[in-house]
Chains A and B, each alone.
Chain A
Amino acid sequence: MKDLLERYRSLGIKVKKFNIKKSIRITNKIKVSNLINRLKNKGILLKKIGFLDKGFYVTKSRFSLASTPEYLLGYFFIQEAASQLPAEILEPEGIVLDMCASPGGKTIQLAEKAKVVIALENQHNRIKPLLNNLERVSVKNCIVYNIDARKFEFKVDKILLDAPCSGNFIMDNKWFKRQTVENFEKNSELQKELISAAIGNLKKGGELVYSTCSLEPEENEFVIDYALKNFDIDVVKIKCPGDNAFTRIFGKKLDKRIRYCKRLLPHKTKTQGFFIAKLRKND
């Protein structure tokens, strides 16, 4: 644990635990102003999140949000602010592949703009929560496969790879006790396999957003560096809060284009830790 704290100092991450504000995303099943008023009448107050399209902080709430009729009617999804960014940054259209989909917050976001979303999830017990959420929000344009995304083959123009990762200390009180560098390295291997599969499924000129809720270079910059070295792809500049990603770290010199990727540091963005990269497959 001491090692990890030291490592975080060298990464410029302030380890100060704070409670991030609860946030929701309003779905397209209701007009935004209607939901704001309905919740207000019940004593639930919302405040727009500046960097998001339909994201709101919950500034006051007397009840559990998930037990409100509005939640049960599919009018909003309880979704942390930073995790609403990847789907927006992808600018979904046409057929979109969501490679790691459950529980589906981002799938729902993608489905609002895409013609069809192909959603993959390899863990059988995580399929049910995904299907429940799609039904609650009445998503009509999604096909779900219970499959390992590394094996899936089908070419599309847009892909979201919201990869499995080690998480971050904001969302998990015991994070420092649970995590080890070996674990980051293990995740990194899986993430490299997933990003290779993603690029394989991308049509020329197609775009891919890679995101994690991890702050570890092994799970982020190293994965993008690996992809840039092994495939004919480029990094796309994105408009997104956060610091530029590292191009030199732990004695390694990485591809300079990685600076266009973003790392969201909790003490600066007041969100959970997050990493976002947008890549384009060259023609």
Chain B
Amino acid sequence: MIKKFTKKFGNVELFYTKINNSYYLVNKDLIKLSKKIKYKPESIGLFLGKEENGRFTPSLALLEILSKKSKDKIYVKDIGEIDFLYGKDLRERHIIKIEGEIKDGFLKFVQNEYDENLGLGKIKIKNGKIKIRNKIDRGDFLRRER
């Protein structure tokens, strides 16, 4: 299921393992070590996302990895960065540029001016105007702490 998601963004090979319905990025050392330990881990390596009700939700760490190799990006200004991290959608005035194809319903990595990933957005085009719907953003780390 994770493959179906990553395939949308090109050919990214990830060495992963699964615990229950969660995916983790691992390496041989981690796997070798975990086999020697007799308990069941909560997590191993980097959390990549989970399956729920037949749907895959990527982790923010996975978006960060995929965005590095992707051509589907939206770069946003400072104000856009803050708004997006507060869970808001993006408007044209927030946007510096869009890379890749611009089509209604397309998913794009949302990047700040340093090309760092802030999350994932979906393009919405209405009356010729572009809006980016906030699908996932890193502000979630803060919201989870509350």
A residues neighboring B (CB under 8 Å): 66-67, 69, 71-73, 95, 115-116, 118, 127-129, 131-132, 134-136, 138-147, 152-154
Tell me which residues from 17 to 59 in chain B have a Cβ below 8 Å from any Cβ of chain A: 25, 27, 29-30, 33-34, 36-47, 59
Write the chain B residue with the least CB distance to A136: B141
B138 within 8 A of A: yes
A135 contacts B30, C-beta separation under 8 Å: no
Residues in A neighbouring B60, C-beta threshold 8 A: 135-136
Q: A116-B29, A153-B38 are in contact. List 8 more A-B contacts (CB 8 A).
A: A66-B142, A69-B82, A73-B116, A118-B37, A135-B141, A136-B141, A140-B46, A141-B27
* Given the contacts A118-B37, A135-B46, A143-B44, A67 and B142 also touching, CB distance less than 8 Å: yes
A145 contacts B41, C-beta separation under 8 Å: yes
Write the chain B residue with the least CB distance to A66: B142
B29 contacts A69, C-beta separation under 8 Å: no
* Given the contacts A73-B116, A147-B39, A154-B37, A139 and B142 also touching, CB distance less than 8 Å: no
State the total of A-B contacts with C-beta under 8 angstroms: 87
Q: Chain A's nearest CB lies how many Å from the CB of B22?
A: 10
B43 contacts A141, C-beta separation under 8 Å: no
Write the chain B residue with the least CB distance to A131: B43
B interface residue count range (under 10 / 10 to 19 / 20 to 34 / 35 or more)? 20 to 34
| CA of A154 to CA of B37, assembled, Å | 7
A143 contacts B30, C-beta separation under 8 Å: yes
CB-contact partner of A72 in B25, B34, B37, B142, under 8 A:
B142
A sample of 17 cross-chain residue pairs with beta-carbon separation below 8 angstroms, ordered by A number, consists of A72-B118, A72-B139, A116-B30, A129-B145, A132-B145, A135-B60, A136-B60, A136-B138, A138-B64, A141-B27, A141-B45, A142-B45, A143-B34, A144-B43, A145-B37, A147-B39, A154-B36
